[in-house]
Chains A and B, each alone.
Chain A
Amino acid sequence: MGDSQYSFSLTTFSPSGKLVQIEHALTAVGSGQTSLGIKASNGVVIATEKKLPSILVDEASVQKIQHLTPNIGVVYSGMGPDFRVLVRKSRKQAEQYNRLYKEPIPVTQLVRETATVMQEFTQSGGVRPFGVSLLVAGYDDKGPQLYQVDPSGSYFSWKASAMGKNVSNAKTFLEKRYTEDMELDDAIHTAILTLKEGFEGEISSKNIEIGKIGADKIFRVLTPAEIDDYLAEVE
C-alpha cells in the first residue's frame, strides 16, 4: 500500500491526501474502552467502561470522567496519560478565560481551544498526535451541549455519540433509542443500556463511571451508590 511509505512522518501528507499518523491515532482510540454521551432536553450524561487491569487495583482511585470547569465535564476513549495532559491544558485555558472576562467560559469556546491544541500536535515537529478522542459535556447559557473532539482536532456537536471498542453497535443502539425530548434520567438509563450491550462480564457500579449535568449547571460524577440505584431501575 503506497500510504505506508508516508507513515513515518506526521507532517507529511500521503498521496491519498491523508496524514497517516492521525489514522493510527484514531485506531488507538478505536481500541480503547467504550465511552458514550447523550444530550437530553434538560441535561447531558456521559459514561464509560472502567475495566481495570487487575482486581488488585484500587478502583476508587481511578477517575476517568473529569471536570474541566464546574459546569463542563469530559470523558475519553484511548490513552489515559494523553487524556490527563489535555485535561490539564483545557482547565488552564478555561481559567484564563475566566480571569480575563470574570465569566465562565462557554462550552463551544473551550471545545474550540482544546481542539486547537490537538491540531497543533498534528502540525509541529517532534511531537505525535494525542491518542484520545474526548466527549465534552456542558451546560451553559445556550443550554445542554455534547461535543466530540478527535485526535486530528476536528470537533462535532452530537445529540448522542459513542467512541472506543464497541462504537458501531453502540451508535446503532443509540440511533434506535434516542428521542429529541428525552429527559436526563431517561438518558442515564439509555446510557447504561448502551454500555451493557457490548459489555464483557457483569456490569456493576465498580466497572462503569457516569457523569451528568442538569439545569443546575453543576457537573457531577455519580457515586457508586447512585449508579447502583440506576442499575437496579434498569433491571
Chain B
Amino acid sequence: MSIFEYNGSAVVAMVGKNCFAIASDRRLGVQLQTIATDFKRISKIHDRVFIGLSGLATDVQTLYQRLVFRHKLYQVREERDMKPETFASLVSAILYEKRFGPYLCQPVIAGLGEDDKPFICTMDSIGAKELAKDFVVSGTASESLYGACEAMYKPDMEAEELFETISQALLSSVDRDCLSGWGGHVYVVTPTEIKERILKGRMD
C-alpha cells in the first residue's frame, strides 16, 4: 500500500458564479482501521482563501501550520491578505523546498481573487501546480471524484446549486472508496459569507 493511502482522504473544489465550494471527507484511518470520523482536512487561511490537504495526516497538519505561519507573517508585514494565486505560488515553493524528502500531501487551494473571481488549483506533493477552470480533486478517491465531477459539473452555478453538486459528487465518490468517507465537510464561499456544512453519508 502506498504511503499516500495510509490514512485515506478525499478533497474536491469547484468553481461557481462569483463563488466556490471546497469539500472533503471526514475519515481518519490507519490502513483498514477507522480511528476518527471528524478529521479536519480543509482549513481557512483567511476569509477568501481555503486550503484542503489530502494524503498523510501528520503532514496535512504540519503543512497547514507552516502555511498559516507564513500567511500571518505576510499579513503583518504587508498589511493585506494574500491573493489566492500568490498563496498557491507560496505553497508550491514550500513543497519544492522538500523535493528530496517531500511532504506526503496533495493540496487543493480555492479562493476568491480580484473582482470576486473564483480561483482553484491543485498540486502534487512536490509543488507542480495545476490550475483549472471547473473543478480539482485529490486523495484516495480521486479517480471516482474525477468521474463524478465531470458528469455533474456545469459552469456558473449559484451557491446553493454548487453546494448540492459538490456534495453529491463527493458522497457518491467516497462510497466507492473504502479508505475515505464517514461523512462530508463542505464550505461554500461567496463574497459576502462563508457557509460551512456537515454531510451525513454512508457511515462505513
Contacts and interface: CB of A to CB of B under 8 A. Distances in A.
On chain B, which size bracket covers the interface? under 10
A176 interface: no
A8 interface: no
Q: Is the interface of B mostly helix, strand, loop or mixed?
A: helix
Interface in B69-104: 77-78, 83, 85-86, 89-90, 93
A101 B81 CA distance: 13
A112 B78 CA distance: 11
Contacts of A112: 77
A101 B77 contact: no
A106 B77 CA distance: 11
Contact of B90 (A101, A106, A108, A109): A101
A216 to B, nearest CB: 19
Contacts of A102: 85-86, 89
Contacts of A106: 78
Interface string B44-70: 000000000000000000000000000
Contacts of B77: 109, 112
19 contacts: A99-B93, A100-B89, A100-B90, A100-B93, A101-B86, A101-B89, A101-B90, A102-B85, A102-B86, A102-B89, A103-B83, A103-B85, A103-B86, A103-B89, A106-B78, A108-B78, A109-B77, A109-B78, A112-B77
Interface of A: 99-103, 106, 108-109, 112
